[in-house]
Amino acid sequence: MSESGRRSGALGRVQSPVSGEEQEEMPGEDGNEETRRHIRHKYRELITSVQQNREDMLSSRNNRLTEVLEEANKLFGGVSRAREAALDAQFLVLASNLGKEKANQLHSDMIVFDPTAFAEDLLTFMGLNRLEGGESDSEEDGMANGFLPSDAWQRVGIEAEKYFKRAPTFHYMLGSFKTDPPVPKQRLERQRQKPRMEERRAMPAQLKKMEESHQEATEKEVERILGLLQAYYREDPETPISFFDFVIDPTSFARTVENIFHVSFIVRDGFARIKLDQDRLPVIEPVANEDQVTEQENQSRHQGVISLSPQDWQEIRETFEIKEPMIPPSPASE
């Protein structure tokens, strides 16, 4: 299939037979430079015309776009070189864009809702009789006047009911439910076997001894850490103690977790408090006397959960350059 045939098929062009006068003006493929120059000039005029008259061509009442397409179709019969084909392609792109925009406008005009037309159709459906309503000069009065039958709105309701989905009414398949409460079943209590006297005595004693020993060790460690905190604070009361410097043990992640656990008891009981410094970093300081302890107890407290992973512990240790622990290991742990 030749290039001319393919283009005509794709664009919907219909080439009419070329008359003798047109053959004299535009010989097909003889390679005449003057004819080629004339074709290029005509294409440039078409492109300029399309660009300048864009708004007029988009109007649905204007057929100028069809006219320029037919004119370009005639020029395409004399195209034999690449320069003229490039101008034809450029014109075709402009014409295609205009056609697309024009089609979109036609589609949008078709779906526009016209309230006046809708009201007129609705009155007609309801059976409006304008002859019995009297004559009126104005168009608006003519639409408002008229005679509606008594069942006009009922007719609209019956028609609108078809487009609303309604749930079916509820009814019992086997009648209403019985209101009598169910008869409670008697529960049979099983007799539990009593443990032997030796087991009942030995197990609580063992658990109690372990609990007392663990609690005693925790209290001693809390008192030791509180003494260290007070000693550090007495050495330099003006300099706040960093919370991370105080609890982080650079040599052991497990002891760091234990230090945070024990310091939480000191803060909970009101013997120390944690606040933020100017850099929004936590600092810890002991409460000096009993009056401040009482005042600390009366104030509202905020509890929180600290999440600390080995990676976080290593990053804090490197960021704050912690080389030695402020809370040395207890002799019992060593």
Q: How confident is the model at residue 13 (pLDDT cuts 50, 70, 90)?
A: very low
Q: Residue 1 has what pLDDT?
A: 38
More confident residue, 16 or 71: 71
Helix, strand, coil share (%) of the chain residues, nearest 5: 55, 5, 40
pLDDT(42) > 80: yes
- Where are the strands (E) in the chain, listed by range? 241-242, 272-276, 282-286
pLDDT(111) > 70: no
Q: Residue 311 has what pLDDT?
A: 92
Query: How far does CA 225 lie from the centroid of its chain?
Result: 50
Alpha-carbon gap, residue 133 to 258, rounded angstroms: 97
More confident residue, 246 or 133: 246
SS (H, E, C) 115-126: HHHHHHHHHHHH
Q: Residue 295 has what pLDDT?
A: 59
More confident residue, 313 or 304: 313
Q: Which of 111-115, 142-146, 230-234 has the largest mean confidence?
A: 230-234
Q: Which of 16-20, 165-169, 213-217, 312-316 has the largest mean confidence?
A: 312-316
Three-state secondary structure call for residue 47? helix
Q: Angle at which helices 310-319 and 253-268 pack, to 10 degrees?
A: 80
pLDDT(180) > 50: yes
pLDDT(14) > 50: no
Q: Mean pLDDT across the chain, nearest whole number?
A: 75
pLDDT(158) > 80: yes
pLDDT(298) > 60: no
* Range of lowest pLDDT (48-62, 139-153, 222-236): 139-153
Q: Are the beta carbons of 221 and 330 closer than 8 angstroms?
A: yes
More confident residue, 261 or 15: 261
More confident residue, 217 or 322: 322
**Two tokens, residue 59:** 């109007």
CA within 13 Å, CB half, 234: 7
* Residue at token pair 């809390």: 222
Q: DSSP secondary-structure letter at 16?
A: P
| Burial of 49 (C-beta count, 10 Å sphere; 0-12/13-18/19+) | middle
Q: Residue 161 has what pLDDT?
A: 84
pTM of this structure: 0.37
More confident residue, 322 or 16: 322
Q: Which of 18-22, 131-135, 248-252, 305-309 has the largest mean confidence?
A: 248-252
Q: How confident is the model at residue 10 (pLDDT cuts 50, 70, 90)?
A: very low
Q: How confident is the model at residue 264 (pLDDT cuts 50, 70, 90)?
A: confident
Buried b (16+ CB within 10 A) or exposed e, 146-185: beeeeebeeeeeeeeeeeeeeeeeeeeeeeeeeeeeeeee
More confident residue, 6 or 32: 32
